[in-house]
Structure 1
């Protein structure tokens, strides 16, 4: 494994100690069985200075015509040898690799190969070093053949900085909606492939290939990372949507066939890709017309799942039955004004039409689905008789002195009506009763205009101050309770809405957030963070996942391989979260799982923070060439992008 981007302090130490090449054991569970020979380049993934041969580069070409007065073969050979020896002096053994190229190079490949051919020829005639066209595998074999010993590395290379105030930790969260879309589409793709396999292809071309290609393209290092230009992000998203449309046909036809008695069905199953904005015509209109709605729930995992699902409905008298006709416990939760506002705006923005009917409820009901299988449920509107339980609802406004509680099973959460902050976490089964608080802050983005040109941008996280986001006075707090789940709704500000949800049969809390449009009218970019604060004594230690497979120990303001010089105490302690983050103190553990890739840390003992959204007004000079300022537009009226997501 060969790469260039390691921390500038780490690289300097490794160059001095000839430790640029290591045996990397990145998994603490797999140990040496997953080790790999790894090398960081001495400077960058480009040739040494003076050996860039793009048509507009200023490197001196090899002039080997004897009739020319500026014949420079010996000079260029000596330059080549000196550069090779310089690299050999910071690496081990007698082999060095030059990566001939860089970003945006080889627009005219002939200029490169013409010069490389000459250099290889004349350097080998000189005889001091041997030069050849090679590959990483040939180079690795040559290194292995030396039978040299190599240092062992057991942690990873995060976080990375290329200068004192330039930590590449902002991109862990950049474009969080796009990151979430990729996560959802990845799961959908796997389910669609399974269903396609079960039913067989209808032709020679798979109906999921378009989505597979779009997902593969989105894995580009300037794709899912969120470090692309806005028009490129839009192109990625369009390709994913086109892939979804094709895969949706596969899913609909497969489910229809699987759920029919004779393998063929005329049922037209519809899906709801805009459920994140509370829009699902299939579940809304059918019940309104007095018809029954058939809901098929598919489980692509290898174990049985018992969950609670929710769909929007317009009626308040419904009943849910399983395939055998047995009534299934269900609950109606009133739709909030915040959800209706999001629905109305985004349906206009994405579909170009107004929503004629206003949904009234979310219908929640329990489902039990076998592994790699499906279950069928029928939702019917009733005029009278038994029906779903409508949640009891109570609303209070700020600046009162009450304790609000949700949770009917082992898990309970207590909130203060004064600001709506979480105050206490109780788990009766584990005998845990502890103080816990959740809050929101934002980091103002450094502008790069205050005597230091490094701004906060798509790549770089560089806070220029920490500010609490306090709940607006008289902000409503709503508690909804029912037989399946309890919800606590908070409208912290006009642009932050949160639902804390506890299911009766679960022992974890689900937090659903809507953040945006982030206000930038003051000309200041902002990075929105939620913090969970406890009384745990964590001694600067926390754990983050490694690509969702292992968890690695992190120690604040510390690096295992070198003595860290601290320049950015926030950005320099941020890590990527693909699965989650946790901390422990010997008695208690707090874990937070995420629904998409984001950045997170523990800046203070006993506290976990997750960056949920970023909106910035300056470019960070790392190649994007524009500010990270995502918007949604209706005609020419554009607002900052809203992000909706969950953590657990």
Structure 2
């Protein structure tokens, strides 16, 4: 289990930002921020709003999570981005709306994601993982930034500026001041100290900045200061960065042309835009991601298939739940039951969730949370359908274990009514499977007309599943 807490990171960062108005920090995934925000007192909430309004705290990406780009469906990507942005806009207004896509950790990148970001009015997308050979060529030719053409059909409306981070999404070597996950020495600027190391740090930083600038086409360089789980003690970071900024800029008096300051991807993008450089274009995916020789990250396209399926079931349940709630004129009374599934479906789009790259106990928890939130939405479906049908005494039951061909409802009776709901705006032909314990059934439509049906044996591989508890041998 990871020994880290996002709540402590936000606690610490906010306090450090309040101490110095030149300091900046970006925040990405709304899910964790929202959990923190709801626990804060109004006085601190107002201070955070001030930090957002003056640009010190900037929301980047802003979806409920940083979604995967290979196993996630575009509908669920749009849903989770919409929910995250809705929370931010409702809370912080226009200043809380992100303008930058921040996909630094997904394992390869989709042209469709670029198109979606462009349609969301994002100005750019930043990422860190691309094929190592592609990266080598781009570094040599200063093409780590480009104009990504997201869709042939949409044309320029789907174009988006794209920045690939050469160093990954962590700090430069030798500049990691995280107390829990770092180890680099602090900047000692007391000239009386035997450990005085200002010149050493300034020389190292300027050397690295000049080297790094050779990878990009303009004179703007972006250094990400921090990475996963860092800043639980933000003071160690900001105290050393304050010193670094002061002493590197002091070198300009001796002829240095390196100017360093706190920034954000939005500010960086403005600098790149003002350079008036013409960038090359790309019109396909950054897939598959190959981090080294024979190291293609493609197994996750199909890993944890049961969870991948369950996530799609969850999306279906969410769309049906939202639609029926609206059609039955719920008028918001069911939000406490709908929102949990909306939020957990947002979590499921994470690049370590639907991707299948999470640890087993995490995967188990995802499935459990999804099950619980689907159940809450099923009560909304039950109530809404009864309102639409006009009979509030009906009790809609659900088959939640069809993935193992089991359903206590259909196995426990030989006479029942089956409710089928089509969430699409058009007709569909879909095979319906119901586990049964008998060999002969008559299936009728609502008008009493016979519907073609067959009895099909459940495969032995399914019948032998240890976790399956069912008497049904046919469907």
Confirm or deny a common fold (TM above 0.5).
yes
What residue is the counterpart of 2:451 in the other structure? 329
Please state if 1:347 is matched with 2:471: no
Q: 1:220 to 1:306 in 2, by over 3 A?
A: closer
Aligned length: 345
Query: Distance in 2 between the 1:300 and 1:223 partners?
Result: 25
212, 228, 237: which one aligns with 1:103: 228
Query: Which range moved further: 242-251 or 76-85?
Result: 76-85
Query: Distance in 2 between the 1:174 and 1:335 partners?
Result: 28
What runs of 5+ residues in structure 2 fail to find an aligned partner? 1-124
What residue is the counterpart of 2:472 in the other structure? 359
What residue is the counterpart of 2:263 in the other structure? 134
Counterpart mapping for 1:456-475 below 5 A: none
344, 348, 354: which one aligns with 1:224: 354
Query: Distance in 1 between the 2:233 and 2:409 partners?
Result: 54
What residue is the counterpart of 2:432 in the other structure? 309
What residue is the counterpart of 1:10 in the other structure? 134
> Does the aligned pair in 2 maintain the 1:63–1:72 contact within 8 Å?
yes
309, 319, 336: which one aligns with 1:180: 309
Counterpart mapping for 1:161-180 below 5 A: 161-180=290-309
> Does the aligned pair in 2 maintain the 1:8–1:161 contact within 8 Å?
yes
Query: Distance in 2 between the 1:103 and 1:169 partners?
Result: 23
What residue is the counterpart of 2:289 in the other structure? 160
* 3-state SS of paired residue (1:58): coil
> Does the aligned pair in 1 maintain the 2:338–2:377 contact within 8 Å?
yes
What runs of 5+ residues in structure 1 fail to find an aligned partner? 349-354, 363-648
> Does the aligned pair in 1 maintain the 2:325–2:334 contact within 8 Å?
no
Counterpart mapping for 1:128-527 below 5 A: 128=256, 129-201=258-330, 203=333, 205-260=335-390, 264-287=391-414, 292-325=415-448, 327-336=449-458, 338=460, 341-342=463-464, 345-348=466-469, 355=470, 358-359=471-472, 361-362=474-475
Query: Distance in 2 between the 1:339 and 1:169 partners?
Result: 27
List per-residue Cα deviations over 1:316-357 (Å, max 9, x = no partner): 4432322223x22222314245166246x3334xxxxxx4xx
1:297 to partner: Cα distance: 1.0
Counterpart mapping for 1:53-72 below 5 A: 53-55=177-179, 57-72=182-197
Query: Distance in 2 between the 1:314 and 1:176 partners?
Result: 28
Query: Distance in 2 between the 1:320 and 1:115 partners?
Result: 73
Query: Distance in 2 between the 1:71 and 1:16 partners?
Result: 37
Counterpart mapping for 1:558-597 below 5 A: none
What residue is the counterpart of 1:481 in the other structure? none
Please state if 1:43 is matched with 2:186: no
Query: Distance in 1 between the 2:335 and 2:151 partners?
Result: 38
Query: Going by fraction, where is helix more abundant, 1 or 2?
Result: 2
What residue is the counterpart of 1:112 in the other structure? 237
> Does the aligned pair in 2 maintain the 1:23–1:38 contact within 8 Å?
yes
Query: Distance in 2 between the 1:148 and 1:120 partners?
Result: 27
1:208 to partner: Cα distance: 1.5
Query: Which range moved further: 208-217 or 50-59?
Result: 50-59
* 3-state SS of paired residue (1:162): coil
67, 70, 80: which one aligns with 2:205: 80
Q: 1:310 to 1:173 in 2, by over 3 A?
A: closer
> Does the aligned pair in 2 maintain the 1:332–1:361 contact within 8 Å?
no
Query: Distance in 1 between the 2:431 and 2:393 partners?
Result: 28
Q: 1:280 to 1:65 in 2, by over 3 A?
A: same
> Does the aligned pair in 1 maintain the 2:288–2:297 contact within 8 Å?
yes
What residue is the counterpart of 1:32 in the other structure? 156
* 3-state SS of paired residue (1:242): helix
* 3-state SS of paired residue (1:321): coil
TM-score (norm 2): 0.69
Query: Distance in 1 between the 2:225 and 2:186 partners?
Result: 15
List per-residue Cα deviations over 1:27-64 (Å, max 9, x = no partner): 23333321111111122111221111112533232111
210, 213, 216: which one aligns with 1:91: 216
Query: Distance in 2 between the 1:169 and 1:347 partners?
Result: 30
Query: Distance in 1 between the 2:427 and 2:269 partners?
Result: 45
List per-residue Cα deviations over 1:283-341 (Å, max 9, x = no partner): 22221xxxx3111111100112243423223334432322223x222223142451662
Query: Which range moved further: 45-54 or 301-310?
Result: 301-310
Greater Rg by CA = 1
1:14 to partner: Cα distance: 0.8
List per-residue Cα deviations over 1:350-393 (Å, max 9, x = no partner): xxxxx4xx33542xxxxxxxxxxxxxxxxxxxxxxxxxxxxxxx
* 3-state SS of paired residue (2:455): strand
> Does the aligned pair in 2 maintain the 1:26–1:156 contact within 8 Å?
no
Query: Distance in 2 between the 1:361 and 1:41 partners?
Result: 54
1:220 to partner: Cα distance: 1.9
